[in-house]
Each structure stands twice: as structure tokens, then as C-alpha cells.
């Protein structure tokens, strides 16, 4: 069986795995779709299907509201609807949200192997921390860096550097997993191994092969294969 140590058997090659949140660690699309549909209902509009909304979740509130109301909104209308969307989402934050299939097993395996894991997301802290709390993940993560923890957000590498430091790792000892182009850009800028979560929220207009990730994972447990690969 492969080990997590280098050829001299002295120290782990990969000491940390960092995850984007929406569309990578957690399947948040059901609750974000529900929040958008509540907003649409308030304004007398028809709801959208989960399938129509799913791949826009990683792009945040502006993308979701634009999906629901179109791109002809005034700046004032868009800002008001985004605020209302976030309010409705916060009130129904963790109804159907869950870890992606296979992710809990992946996290437990990392923990058993004493490999640190953390979260680096552009989601604001007032949503990130309560969500992770409700899923009993906060104490398990060695680092949680939200979109407003620093002045810089992804695609800046600064949030990833902070997370690696909080996990006691060098950036070059970390894998960063994400489902958006900004995730891969940030990870590459931080000199981390970058993995594209193809199971995440990627819409048809995007061409993720061009993003420059080191690899693609179709299931969370495939992340572990990359750790073995680094150890070979």
C-alpha cells in the first residue's frame, strides 16, 4: 500500500487539502435555488427549476438574481434583490444542503492520516460559518477563510496562503480543489496543486479544460488518488 511519505520516508508530501465551498465541499444548490424561488414568488414571477439554477450557484448572488430577473435590471433593482436574496437564503441556510456524496469519507480519511483540511471560499462569513456549524464541520476544519476574511478574494492567492499558514503547511504542500475558474487561478498563483471538481457547478458556457488545473476529479474520493500519486 502506498504511503503518504516521500521516498526517504521522512515527511508527508501533501500536508493539507483546501476546498472551495459551494459546488466543491457542499452541495448548496438546493437551498440557494429555494431562496431565489422565494424571491421570484414575492415579485409574482414563476419559479425556476433546480436544473436551471444549479450551475450558477458558484457565481454568487448577482449571478443568481440575474438568472431569475434578467440582465436589464437597474443597479438599484439588482442591489435590492441581491440583499433580499441573501436574507432569504440566510433564513433557510441548511435545509437541504449537504456534503457531496463521498466527501465525508474523504474528510475522515484525511483526518485519520493526519492531513489537515480547510475551506477557502468567496462566500461571506455571515453565511459560511453558520452553514459549517450546522453541518458540524467547523471544529473539524483547520482553517476557514471566507470571502471577507481578507481584503483580497479569489482569484487572489492571498486567502489560500492564509489557509495554508493556519493549517501549518507550506502552500506547495497543499492541494486546492474547486469548481470555478477563479479557484484554479488562485491555486495556481499560490503554487498549489489544483484539482477541478467536475462534479460541481460548471455551466455549459464554460470550458474548464482551459483553466489550467493540474487534474480533474469526478468524485471527491478521487482526491485521495492525487495524494497517493504525490507519494509515489
Which residues partner with 171 through β-bridges? Answer: none
* Catalytic residue list contains 20: yes
How many Å apart are CA 198 and CA 100, to the nearest integer?
A: 12
CA-wise closest residue to 39 among 92, 98, 76: 92
Q: Which of 20, 22, 27, 31 is catalytic?
A: 20
CA distance 223 to 107: 10
DSSP state of 173: G
Angle of helix 222-231 versus helix 103-112 axis, rounded to 10? 30
Task: Indicate the DSSP class of residue 57.
Answer: G
Which residues are known catalytic residues? 20
Amino acid at each position: 500500500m502506498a504511503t503518504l511519505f516521500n521516498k526517504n520516508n521522512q515527511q508527508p508530501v501533501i500536508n493539507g487539502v483546501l476546498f472551495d465551498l459551494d459546488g466543491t465541499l457542499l452541495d448548496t444548490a438546493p437551498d440557494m435555488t429555494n431562496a431565489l424561488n422565494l424571491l421570484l414568488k414575492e415579485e409574482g414571477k414563476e419559479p425556476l427549476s433546480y436544473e436551471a439554477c444549479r450551475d450558477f450557484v458558484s457565481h454568487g448572488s448577482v449571478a443568481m438574481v440575474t438568472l431569475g430577473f434578467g440582465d436589464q435590471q437597474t443597479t438599484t433593482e439588482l442591489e435590492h434583490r441581491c440583499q433580499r436574496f441573501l436574507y432569504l437564503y440566510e433564513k433557510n441556510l441548511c435545509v437541504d444542503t449537504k456534503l457531496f456524496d463521498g466527501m465525508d469519507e474523504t474528510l475522515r480519511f484525511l483526518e485519520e492520516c493526519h492531513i489537515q483540511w480547510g475551506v477557502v471560499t468567496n462566500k461571506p462569513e455571515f453565511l459560511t460559518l453558520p452553514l459549517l456549524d450546522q453541518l458540524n464541520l467547523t471544529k473539524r476544519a483547520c482553517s476557514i477563510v471566507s470571502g471577507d476574511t481578507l481584503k483580497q478574494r479569489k482569484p487572489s492567492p492571498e486567502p489560500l496562503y492564509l489557509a495554508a499558514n493556519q493549517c501549518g503547511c507550506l502552500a506547495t504542500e497543499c492541494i486546492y480543489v474547486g469548481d470555478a475558474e477563479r479557484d484554479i487561478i488562485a491555486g495556481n498563483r499560490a503554487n498549489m496543486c489544483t484539482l477541478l471538481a467536475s462534479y460541481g457547478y460548471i455551466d455549459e458556457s464554460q470550458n474548464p479544460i482551459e483553466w489550467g488545473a493540474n487534474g480533474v476529479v469526478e468524485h471527491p474520493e478521487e482526491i485521495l488518488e492525487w495524494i497517493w500519486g504525490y507519494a509515489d
